[in-house]
Structure 1
Amino acid sequence: MSAVISRRSPALFIVMGVSGCGKSTVSESLAEHFGIISLDADDFHSAENKAHMASGQPLTDAMRVPWVHGLRDHLALMAAQGESCTLAFSGLRKAHRDVLRNTGHRVFYLLLDGSRELIAKRMQARAGHFMPASLLDSQFAALERPMADEQMMYIDIDQPVDGVMNTIYTLVDDLI
């Protein structure tokens, strides 16, 4: 574990963006780099939410609220135990991002940013995910671009994964 990420001051790296941008891959790589836990917000969705999305329907804000609050509660418990982690989380709404800022962690947001065409191509190439590529437009429509006060790190994903990760390691190492 990095000496900078300690149990006294746990860190939370939220890797966010629309479905198919690479959140899970980046979150897992970042967790491995720092020797911390990797979480995926998709694992916290209810069976009803997953079925709703799998049927080609986007979630409503009302459907997202219990999911986000459940994530916050789990993360707060981890922070109380001194556990740092990464979280792959869409973060489409500012209100949801704000909820996760209050977990007891030092929070770092990384937005994986790419064009609709690039992400659609990646979604069509993946198999076994409950989120169909047909919902990509609804993801972009729901995404509230971060405001300047959110202290967001923007990561261009139009490069190989190694390039994305090297960019992130440089940014994060400079911050912590």
Structure 2
Amino acid sequence: MNLLSSVRRLSKPILVIVMGVSGSGKTTLAKLLSERLSFRYVEADDFHSDQAKQKMAAGIPLTDQDRLPWITCMCDFLNEQFQQQQSCVLSYSGLRAKHREAFRALPFDTLFVFLHGKQEIILQRMQQRQGHYMPATLLQSQFDSLESPQGEQNVVAIDLDASKDIILDNTEKQIAGWLLSLQ
């Protein structure tokens, strides 16, 4: 099935949210999906305040109170995209169930792609990346904050213990099945 042709048959914009803890590969996957689907790529980190980024860089985890303005900014931006009939792929941690509900309340048809895997694998990835404000020392706090979306509506789980190509192929198959359900 050609994903792009399936998307073109839809009557309204869709939102694919690639989610998981820091270091799970959500940015890489979201960028690849946005290119394949011809959707706008949206990076949640771009909506963090300087204060929030400084807090995380200092090794201090964000609280739900810290995250609220961030969620509001993203939802406002995505509403604008919907008004412009623009489908999007959002790279976003999605740690808290109540925050995911804010995205479900948007007018898009929304699918969450949950990247999950062993903490040791993700820690290795985080230790290898450079230039990111989120230190590997905060990974445990990400896992502690994560409320698993498995069992929630419109969520597909993708095991990240595979090559980038296999992860992309598995994700595309899941999206294709979801798109069929919308037609």
TM range (shorter): over 0.9
Offset, 1:68:
0.4
Residue in structure 2 matching 1:66, options 65, 69, 75: 69
Partner residue, 2:163: 160
Residue in structure 1 matching 2:106, options 100, 103, 106: 103
1:137 aligns with 2:140: yes
Alignment of 1:44-55 (within 5 A): 44-55=47-58
Equivalent pair of 2:150/2:157 in contact (CA under 8 Å) = no
Offset, 1:151:
2.8
Unaligned runs of 5+ in 2: none
Equivalent pair of 1:5/1:84 in contact (CA under 8 Å) = no
Cα RMSD for the two superposed structures: 1.3
- Counterpart Cα distance in 2 of 1:174 and 1:137: 33
Residue in structure 2 matching 1:5, options 1, 4, 7: 7
Offset, 1:147:
4.8
Offset, 1:119:
0.1
Residue in structure 1 matching 2:122, options 113, 119, 123: 119
- Counterpart Cα distance in 2 of 1:11 and 1:95: 20
- Counterpart Cα distance in 2 of 1:33 and 1:137: 33
Query: Number of paired residues?
Result: 176
Partner residue, 1:85: 88
Equivalent pair of 2:14/2:88 in contact (CA under 8 Å) = yes
Unaligned runs of 5+ in 1: none
TM-score (structure 1 length as normaliser): 0.96
Equivalent pair of 1:17/1:23 in contact (CA under 8 Å) = yes
